[in-house]
Structure 1
Amino acid sequence: MTQIHVITAENQHSYKESLEEYFRLRHNVFVDERGWRNLHQPDGREVDAYDNQNAVYLLAIDQDRVVGGQRLYPTLLPHMLSEVFGHMAQRGLPRAHTIYEWTRYFVVKERRMGRTDCRLLAAIQQFCLEEGVTELTAVVEMWWLPRWQQVGFQVRPLGLPTIIEGQPCIAASIKISQESLDQVRGLAGLRNFSLVRHEDVSPILDRVPHVAA
């Protein structure tokens, strides 16, 4: 059964192979499938400046195989929206201790018609509720908006759509709420859904962010 694992700098040593697979899958999805050629790397690993000790990963793992993943990053540090896509947030750039950026979300092709997507979407709401994160920011293709609305996410556009790699994209804010979690759980039929955590992982809001590499 697919489980969602919480990975931080404190327990990455236990997930070296899974993270390596996640980075390679990111390259397959974003470069090979979606054609984001500016992310191409000769070694086939899609890794950027925000894959550092401040990043939190929620990976969908089924029998030791990564089938999906996503990344969170503190907005108090320089992050993708502030440094690369700031022009897309004409209505203001949300930044706070309890606001995180949500990036590098994907589900492997053969799992996109199943429950893996809903498990990951439920995981992001549940993790943030448990950790005290109140809001997420993201830059996504426009087709994500109806998908988020379908699963009960409360979305607020931060600006007007912009063409990126030939696709209309938008910067948006997502409110974290129990109502959103309940709706996505209900749609997916997820009962007794819980995240896989190591006991030695401290709450993310208690951690002091380090300057990004």
Structure 2
Amino acid sequence: MIWIAKGTSSPEKQGPLHLAMFEERKRIFVDLLRWNVPVRSGRYEIDQFDDEHATYVIVEDGQGQHLGSARLLPTLRPHILDTLFPHLTDAQILRDRETFEITRFCLSARITAAERRGVRRALVSAIAVYAAGWGVKCYTGVAEQRWFDEIAKFGWDCEPLSVASPSSSERLVAFRIRITDQTIARLRRTGIFMDISLNMLPANARPASDLFQLQPEETYHAA
């Protein structure tokens, strides 16, 4: 099941699926990848952007277990590219209501490689469907060069905003993804897109009980 979940000003007080996501992010980004990012209570990877303005796309196994997630940040607010990595682009950083930043793309380390590929497909599809349903025209982000190369293969209409930065051992690229009426068709042609429905999860809810479906005017189903 795929959820669209909002953040709150007190992320550590959110529901169990949010907390499972923050725990998984700590396992992946801190324990495995050795990122120098904040950790709260020794368990949760939560930074300054995990607030009431954040939107999360979460893939869950139907029993409340986090399988993968991504965070979408409005570019009218402070976000990673304009706050932490503005030097990665010589172009003007996009800041408007129709542009969101994709961050913290995370796949569970507890599942098999084949399962991770399926969760990756679900997340990519959900990000595309969210854009179609919520009027997003552009995504931006920062990624290692090798990950950007993978993103390009998915079928997104994407381009780097600058040459890769050689300032660290992991070359970083700022990028932009344009969303058009052909986006889902492009993703479908590469085989990454899968038909999904999105569900809204209240910030403090348990996914198996305190859930509600998106209303018709709020939902987008790709078929």
Q: Map Cα deviations across residues 76-128 of structure 1 (whole Å, 9 max, x no partner).
A: 11211111111112122111111111101111132443311011001101101
**Which residue of structure 1 aligns with residue 79 of structure 2?**
79
Report if the CA contact (8 A) 1:92-1:158 is conserved.
Answer: no
1:145/1:9 CA distance change after superposition, 3 Å = closer
1:4 aligns with 2:8: no
Report if the CA contact (8 A) 2:89-2:174 is conserved.
Answer: yes
**Number of equivalenced pairs:** 198
1:200/1:184 CA distance change after superposition, 3 Å = closer
Identity %: 24
1:98 aligns with 2:98: yes
Report if the CA contact (8 A) 1:161-1:168 is conserved.
Answer: yes
- In structure 2, the gaps of 5 or more residues are 201-211, 219-223
Using the size of structure 2 for normalisation, the TM-score is: 0.80
Pairwise CA distance, 1:51 = 0.6
Aligned partner letter, 2:119: T
| CA RMSD after TM alignment | 2.5
1:45/1:7 CA distance change after superposition, 3 Å = same
- In structure 1, the gaps of 5 or more residues are 204-213
Q: 1:129 aligns with which of 132, 143, 153?
A: 132
Using the size of structure 1 for normalisation, the TM-score is: 0.83
Aligned partner letter, 2:159: R
Q: 2:169 aligns with which of 166, 169, 178?
A: 166
1:81/1:178 CA distance change after superposition, 3 Å = same
Helix, strand or coil: the match of 2:182? Answer: helix
Helix, strand or coil: the match of 1:67? Answer: strand
**Which residue of structure 2 aligns with residue 88 of structure 1?**
88
CA distance in 1, matches of 2:98, 2:184: 18
Pairwise CA distance, 1:190 = 2.4
Q: How does 1:184-203 map to 2 (within 5 A)?
A: 184-185=187-188, 187-188=191-192, 190-191=194-195, 193-197=196-200, 198-199=212-213
